[in-house]
Chains A and B, each alone.
Chain A
Amino acid sequence: MDTQDEYQVDLGNLMAFDPFHHFTSIPSSREELVADCLSKGTELVQAIVSGVFNLPSTEDIDGPLVKLPPPTTKLPREKPLPKPKPPTRWEEFAKAKGIRNRKKDKVVWDEQTGTWKRRYGYDRVNDDADIPIIEAKMTDEPGVDPFAKRIAERKERVQKQQKNQLQNLKTAAKAGALPSHVQLAATALPITGTQAAKKKFTKDELGNVAGLASTATASGGKFDKKLRGEKPVKNQGKHRKFLPVVEGSGIGSQEKEQTERVLSKLISSNSHEILNVDKAVTMYNVKKERKRRNQYGKPSSTRNEQGKSSSTPSKLKPNNKPMKAKSLANKGKGSFSNKGKGSFSSKGKAK
């Protein structure tokens, strides 16, 4: 028993460890060292052997068998722990409803032939394929082949089951608990170069494409030979035309007219916003301030200044706005010359 305390023995691994051993005197030669090590090793092996041989054993043809305890030395795993498989839809449903699996016999008594037959598989009991005649019912639709219908129904059932299986496998894959031999592979890979499913073009799309293609000449398809009965192309696309900027004999002013037309259109629709209120207010304030300064700062020359004031503030008067017609600009001027008392805003806005 003292050896057990002295050495650490792991019977599961057949391992023993002496943590206190050290050489009392450093061995001088290799042979001495080996002999030392072996004698120590013998002691340790003896400790393991006494542990193993004292375990309860059962006799076997090859020799006595001993049941080893599990290893006590903790060693790292090779692979992560397997994840538990999530329940399938049916298992969830069965649990909720309290349905339990019952064992079914593999063979069933077939009353028609009077023999035992397999429940499933080849030569099975109640096989649809064995029935040569299907009795017509009142509810049957005329013109439907009952045999073909039966086969189709069967195929449908099989497909449904496959779909359900795939769904369950997908949930298992999400949980990382796919069975080791199953792989879920994408059937159509979105990689260039692989065959993608061909898309069918509609008539409209084809027409549009043909229209675009026919205009892909320098003349925009103007001089292309038309086939007999060919319809005019659809969706030709737009070609921009640029008018000459420099005035010439005929169409020179066309460009200017065009821009002016656009401009006047814009102005007419936005004319009520033309007055910049902020600017008008500052201008009014500046003017007032200046007037006051003139009055108090240079009392001697007030008259002159006052007399001038109506004419001088040409700088402070709003400039002629280029966007506005001249008549309008004049009116605006008039409104500001009314010495600040009046409601300039209303007048300014009024056209």
Chain B
Amino acid sequence: MLKVKTPKNRRVQRELEKRAPRLVEKGKKTLILQGTKTSNVLNTVLSEIYHLKRDNAIRYTRKNDSIRPFESGGETSLEFFSMKTDCSIFVYGSTSKKRPDNLVIGRTYDHHIYDLIEVGVENFKRMDSFTYDKKLAPQAGSKPFIVFSGEAFESVDELKHLKEVLLELLRGEVVDNLNLAGLGRVYVCTAISSNRVFLTHCALRLKKSGTIVPRIELVEIGPSMDFVVRRHRLPNESLRKEAMKTAKDKTHKKIKNVSKDALQGKLGKIYVPDQKLGEMVLPNKAKGVKRERREAKMKNSNNEPASKKQKEEDS
């Protein structure tokens, strides 16, 4: 016997609806967590990433001894956290003698690990160490620009992968409408060598240029760091194919009688059918107003007595 179980209150229902799969997705939530051992640098890196993504991230501060993303069996609790928090990107920090200041950035699909990339953090400069005009400080939750440069991002597999992951991590929410007054920050990623990427966070200074497009100046506001790519794991082909599926675009129906002309612009043909005014149905459908009834009534009132008389005569 089955019972229908529904949430007891509206708040829970809304929360469940937020987690339901949707046709067009609006960006992923990020889970930031750490292993048993972290260095001072890594703690700052994690907390600053969280600070930058505050509107769309969850930070776990406890030590996690059972998470080893690259090993089999070490991803179970990670997948559980992803399920629990509904996050599909995770940033996992740990440090060891072999891999100091290690950052594992990964994505999940359907709450299972999709891909992983491991980077080491070097030359880290924290936000506090930058001095700049506080008027330029970007608003929290504003949509950032992301800029990649360097041929290694296209030629080297690891960096190509890292570019995709970084884009998804940093881009924020997918929006339809953008307020131009809210633009104020940019992430600059540059491939220095085949396994090293320089990442920094800058504020924008918009200057008048005489046209509608302002002239841009970048002011570094931090944090800035170098990523050294260590290990990476790409998704397997079938999973990638499944994850790349998109909602089918509404098939463009052929629009009849509309054509476009270079000179005249959009042209439409209109066919006006014969207006059969006599057969038109009146808006008021009251019984008494109906034509057939009225006519029938009139007929009956004239003929009935006569026919009756005829009958009587016959008999």
Contacts and interface: CB of A to CB of B under 8 A. Distances in A.
Interface in B31-58: none
Interface string A72-103: 01111111111000000000000000000000
Interface residues of B, number: 76
B1 interface: yes
A33 B198 contact: yes
B175 A81 contact: no
Given A76-B235, A78-B88, A169-B4, A14 B143 contact: yes
Contacts of B217: 42
Interface stretch (B97-105, B184-192, B298-306): B184-192
Contacts of A54: 212-213
A225 interface: no
B1 A13 contact: no
Interface string B74-107: 0000000000000010000000000000000001
Contact of A80 (B108, B146, B235, B242): B242
A351 B166 CA distance: 102
Contacts of A74: 244
Which of A60, A62, A180 has the largest count of B CB atoms less than 10 A from its CB? A180
Given A17-B149, A169-B4, A182-B6, A80 B188 contact: no
Contacts of B267: none
Interface residues of A, number: 63
Contact of A64 (B88, B167, B181): B181
A233 interface: no
A186 interface: yes
A187 B3 CA distance: 6
Interface string B191-232: 010000010101010000000111111101000100000000
A280 interface: no
B157 interface: no
A80 B110 contact: yes
B147 A82 contact: no
B202 A64 contact: no
B202 A38 contact: yes
Contact of B181 (A62, A75, A165, A170): A62
A186 B243 CA distance: 32
Interface of A: 12-23, 30, 33-34, 36-38, 40-42, 44-46, 48-50, 52-54, 57, 60, 62-68, 71, 73-82, 165-166, 169-170, 180-188
